[in-house]
Amino acid sequence: MQAYIALTPGDGIGPEVVAQAQRMLDAVAARYGHTFRYTTHLIGGCSIDQHGTALTDEALAACQSADAVLLGAVGGPKWDDPNAAVRPEQGLLKLRKGLGVFANLRPVKVHHALLDASPIKPEVLKNVDMVVVRELTGGLYFGSPKGEDVVNGQAHAVDTMEYTESEVERVVRLAFQMAQNRKKKVTSVDKANVLATSRLWRRVTNRVAADYPDVTLEHMLVDTASMKLIASPASFDVMVTENTFGDILTDEASLLAGSMGLLPSASLGESGPGLYEPIHGSAPDIAGKGTANPIGTILSAALLLRYSLKLEVEAAALENAVEKAIHARACTPDLGGKLSTSQVADYMLEQF
Ligand SMILES: NC(=O)c1ccc[n+]([C@@H]2O[C@H](COP(=O)([O-])OP(=O)(O)OC[C@H]3O[C@@H](n4cnc5c(N)ncnc54)[C@H](O)[C@@H]3O)[C@@H](O)[C@H]2O)c1
Ligand SMILES: CC(C)[C@H](C(=O)O)[C@@H](O)C(=O)O
Ligand SMILES: [Mg+2]
């Protein structure tokens, strides 16, 4: 097949990990007889430096016309001034909203060869295989009003947690559909004892659940969920939750797998290109050293093959290449290995 992939490497380690994922995609194309065409676009701090904005309308339009978008990460200390009017993260939020990708799938698996890479006890990590479905284009990130002003002579700031019934329904429905093809359990995470948005979320989730009688639904408060994720992670199958809760819980979940550098994600909408990105950030502490773990981005490329290009065999082949590298501990220092970012991909390509 012919496919057009827009690359938005971004800042810090973003370009380092996207380059390796692109090498792997090229290997898939060569082995299976596909043609992948790429264009590369600025996003985040590098776009601010060049254009004064974190994502130009032209770059967004290019991403919207692609079959899929593969992103690295945005941000870094250079652009961290809390007084700045323009911030790298705005580019990422504009891209997500502009693509309409409301469901962010973040799979969390523990590889048996990496049990010692996690600070959690190995017996607790056995059988961990879950996916967090994070709502991505609503909630606290996008609610209005939002911003800063002065009230009674005092600096004042507001963020609004906001959801409509349909915004909740579409993401929860997707979570139930995923659970039907997995262990048939959905854990809906909210803060219904305090937040009105969470009570709406719960009501909608209960209504949607009636359409999926084969799937067990449990509700869990987010504070409890953050504890259970460490105490009994294998008890989860599909977790569905609000934008901010999902952001925080998945960084926590990355420790089950062993490193922030391991977790991929797929962001999907009703139609149009999907957005694929590792869950980690631009990692300024290791940027430029060539030691960033490329696996989260390579697994994101596998999800791109699966969901946007419908190339299941190719996606599985890429995942298998990652499995082999992990099994052999052909890894970067975050997993106790000695290889560089590109050497990890070299190893996978040799086995591919
Ligand atoms: N999706 C994104 O673009 C995204 C996500 C999170 C944070 N950020 C931004 O990134 C910047 C840095 O944020 P942070 O330091 O809080 O989070 P981070 O995820 O960049 O880094 C957290 C820790 O994890 C490590 N880490 C992350 N990715 C790794 C990888 N692939 N291999 C090995 N180690 C890895 C880092 O070295 C660091 O110690 C901030 O500007 C933040 O806004 C962007
Ligand atoms: C950089 C930031 C806006 C982003 C988010 O919160 O969504 C990041 O933390 C992520 O997890 O992708
Ligand atoms: Mg995050």
Confidence at residue 256, expressed as pLDDT on a 0 to 100 scale: 97
Flag whether the pTM goes above 0.90. yes
CA neighbor of 180 nearest in space, from 217, 155, 219: 217
| 272 known member of a binding site | no
119-257 CATH choice from 3.40.50.2000, 3.40.718.10, 3.30.390.10, 3.30.1320.10: 3.40.718.10
Task: Establish how many alpha carbons lie within 13 A of residue 280's alpha carbon, considering only the half-sphere containing its beta carbon.
Answer: 29
307 is catalytic: no
| Cβ(345) – ligand 1 distance below 6 Å | no
Give all strands of the β-sheet with 129-135 in edge-to-edge order: 35-40, 2-10, 68-73, 274-276, 266-268, 103-109, 129-135, 238-241, 185-190, 216-221
| Cα–Cα distance list, 94 to 43, 66, 83, 270, 277 (Å) | 10, 16, 20, 17, 15
Q: Which of 26, 129, 159, 251 is catalytic?
A: 251
The residue type of 349 is L
129 is catalytic: no
Domain with CATH 3.40.718.10 in the chain: 1-101+266-352, 119-257
In this structure, the residue with its CA closest to atom 9 of ligand 2 is: 247
Start-to-end CA distance of the chain, whole Å, equals 20
| Cβ(261) – ligand 1 distance below 6 Å | yes
Ligand nearest the Cα of residue 251 is 3
Handedness of CA 306, 309, 313, 315 (dihedral sign): negative
Give me the interface pTM, i.e. the ipTM.
Answer: 0.98
Give the residues surrounding ligand 2 with Cβ less than 6 Å away. 75, 89, 92, 247, 279, 281
Residue 186 Cα to ligand 3 midpoint, Å, equals 22
Query: Which residues of the chain are under the pLDDT cut of 70?
Result: none
Query: Pocket of ligand 1, candidates 282, 289, 338, 340: which has the most ligand atoms within 8 Å of its Cβ, to mutate?
Result: 282
Confidence at residue 175, expressed as pLDDT on a 0 to 100 scale: 98
286 in the Ramachandran plot: left (φ > 0), alpha (ψ -120 to 50) or beta? alpha
* Ligand 1 atom closest to the CA of 14, numbered from 1: 3
Query: Pocket of ligand 2, candidates 74, 89, 244: which has the most ligand atoms within 8 Å of its Cβ, to mutate?
Result: 89
Range 1-101+266-352 classified under CATH 3.30.980.10: no
Phi, psi torsion values for 269, nearest 5 degrees: -120, -165
Q: Which of 11, 190, 191, 276 is catalytic?
A: 191
Can you give the chain as a three-state secondary structure string? CEEEEEEEEECCCHHHHHHHHHHHHHHHHHHHCCEEEEEECCCCHHHHHHHCCCCCHHHHHHHHCCCEEEEEECCCHHHCCCCCCCCHHHHHHHHHHHHCCCEEEEEEECCHHHHHHCCCCHHHHCCCEEEEEEECCCHHHCEEEEEEEEECCEEEEEEECCCCHHHHHHHHHHHHHHHHCCCCEEEEEECCCCCHHHHHHHHHHHHHHCCCCCCEEEEEEHHHHHHHHHHCHHHCCEEEECHHHHHHHHHHHHHHHCCHHHCCCEEECCCCCEEECCCCCCCCCCCCCCCCCCHHHHHHHHHHHHHHCCCHHHHHHHHHHHHHHHHCCCCCHHHCCCCCHHHHHHHHHHHC
